[in-house]
Amino acid sequence: MSGHWEQFTRILETIRPEETPQQEYAIILDAPREISEALDDVRRRYDPAFKVKVPPHITVKRPTVLADPARIKGTREALGTVAANLPPLPVTLNGFGSFKAPGRNVVFLKVEDEAPLFQLHQKVVAALHAVFGVDQADRFENGNYHPHLTIGNELSEIDLAVLEHELVTGGYRLNFDFIITQFTLYVHDTGKPWQTIETFSFNPQLNPGP
């Protein structure tokens, strides 16, 4: 019986192209250590990303399979130019919110002023379009971008209610102020941990935002 199941699994993997090993790329802002210290207990229980050692972060460009990974050199150069022309970004996280979808609810810390991060996202998207072409536009969320820091993901309705109650009554710190000085390009091969390709530092000679 096990032999038939293994054969079926191999056939299924062949006819389901989404299961074919592919490289995904993502661009994130790593959060400071104080957020890990404050909320790792929550993430350990409610965020699957914790189990694969993804640190707390704010996503600039969500994971996507790029059509031509050979262009990664051009991507790195374009992202380096973006970073070199931006000052460090002040960020305030204040309270929590949620995205609700049956069985896939998300709880996150809210960014108080989204505008600077949205502008960063737009610049990154423009850089990616310059490398990969506008035909890739559907791969970049742009107008749907909503910066946040996830602390619970893929939650059932019950887990969502429990986590929200914990955050209200548990005395967790939910307010943070910090300066972002860099963003990071990550790559992910199916079945392997996320790996850093390059970190891009903002220009400290430029005036930071208000």
pLDDT in tens, 100-159: 988 899 999 999 999 999 999 999 988 888 887 765 544 556 578 899 999 999 999 999
Is position 149 within any domain? yes
Is position 30 within any domain? yes
Is position 5 within any domain? no
- Cα gap 37→173, rounded to integer Å: 10
Is position 109 within any domain? yes
Is position 83 within any domain? yes
Rounded to 5°, the CA angle 50-43-33 comes to 80
Q: Which residue has the tokens 């979808």?
A: 101
Task: State the pLDDT at residue 52.
Answer: 81
Q: Which domain holds residue 168?
A: 20-201
Q: What is the pTM of this model?
A: 0.83
Average pLDDT over residues 84-97: 96
Task: Output the domain CATH number for residue 185.
Answer: 3.90.1140.10
Whether residue 18 has pLDDT greater than 80: no
Rounded to 5°, the CA angle 59-71-69 comes to 70
Average pLDDT over residues 177-199: 89
* Confidence category of residue 210, pLDDT binned at 50, 70, 90: low
- Cα gap 93→149, rounded to integer Å: 8
| Among the listed residues 93, 96, 121, 95, the one whose alpha carbon sits nearest the alpha carbon of residue 107 | 96
* Strand-pair category, 182-189 with 175-180: unpaired
- Cα gap 68→45, rounded to integer Å: 36
- Cα gap 112→162, rounded to integer Å: 24
User: Which of 36-40, 60-64, 133-137 has the least mean pLDDT?
Assistant: 133-137
Pairwise pLDDT comparison (163 vs 24), residue with the higher score:
163
Amino acid letter, residue 184: T
* Confidence category of residue 11, pLDDT binned at 50, 70, 90: very low
Is position 123 within any domain? yes
Highest mean pLDDT among 39-48, 58-67, 187-196, 199-208: 39-48
Task: State the pLDDT at residue 130.
Answer: 86
Q: Provide the number of structural domains found in the chain.
A: 1
Q: What percent of the chain has pLDDT over 70?
A: 83
Average pLDDT over residues 16-31: 73
Is position 15 within any domain? no
| Among the listed residues 58, 55, 59, the one whose alpha carbon sits nearest the alpha carbon of residue 33 | 55
Is position 55 within any domain? yes
